[in-house]
Amino acid sequence: HLAGFPFPGHTEYLAQELGPDQSLMFMVNDGLRIGLATNHLPLREVAGTLNKELIMEKLQVMNNSLKVDFGLERPSIAVLGLNPHAGDGGVLGGEEESFIRPAVVELKKKGMLVMGPFSADGFFGSGQFRKFDAILAMYHDQGLIPFKALSFGSGVNFTAGLSRVRTSPDHGTAFDLAGKNSADPSSFRKALFLAMDIAQNRILYNELHADALKKREDMLGQEDEILKEDEH
């Protein structure tokens, strides 16, 4: 910021440069994927930033990424609540009933396999998170605390929704470790391999869907020819 860099993090900068309009901060490990509805934002601003449209957009980016980038045909997604006990029916906050649950319901009607909102503490404490392909958290620490507790040093920060593949280690620069031969390269290595996997999955997805589209066009063309012959 002192150098005039106006973004709170690399995720926001790359989202602007590489577009499209909506991206998703997606923390990824072998058995855990957590996306964030809001990124590097002061906690006092989270509730005012969240709304139904934003949550739906983030879920759509997540759902598409799980299909294209991770090769999941019909992914299952869990959505966390904002307040303790997911609002407890409005006793501890109204955001869940006001716009989080309506966003989930609307996307369910459109065919997405999404459930929630879940109370975050019980969701992770009970191991329920293992039943889903991915989880949408409402704010940074709600998603990053369980993620790093379960996979610190072996996770990857992936920015879903960009036109290019972007991954990074799940930790900071750790300049204090430079030159000491004590840094653990595991997360960097995972980030590199995940980027390679995602790039390959995107190629495969595009090839499969291009073939399917061509077959459909060929079938429609054959149907048109049959109709023309019948007319004669």
pLDDT value of position 179? 87
- Give dist(CA 31, CA 229) in Å, integer: 56
| Domain boundaries along the sequence of the chain | 10-172+182-231
- Spatial separation of the C-alpha atoms in residues 111 and 130, rounded to whole Å: 22
- Helices (H), ranges, 173-185: none
Q: CA quadruple 35, 38, 40, 46: dihedral positive or negative?
A: negative
Note the pLDDT tens digit of each residue in 140-193. Answer: 999 999 999 998 888 999 999 998 999 999 887 778 888 888 888 889 999 999
Between 3.40.1710.10, 3.40.47.10, 3.40.190.10, 3.40.718.10, what CATH number should domain 10-172+182-231 receive?
Answer: 3.40.718.10
pLDDT value for 227: 55
| Listed residue (134, 148, 128) closest to 59, CA to CA | 134
Nearest to 29 by CA among 139, 194, 197, 142: 194
Low-confidence ranges of the chain (pLDDT < 50): none
- Distance between CA 32 and CA 2 in Å, rounded? 36
DSSP assignment, residue 115? E
pTM: 0.84
Secondary structure (3-state) at 4: coil
User: What's the chain's length in residues?
Assistant: 232
User: Within the chain, what is the greatest distance between any pair of CA atoms?
Assistant: 84
CB count in 10 Å sphere of residue 118 = 21
pLDDT the model gives residue 72: 96
* Distance (Å, whole) CA 149 – CA 55: 25
Q: What does the pLDDT look like over 30-42, one tens digit per residue?
A: 889 999 999 989 9
Q: Residue 185's pLDDT is what?
A: 86
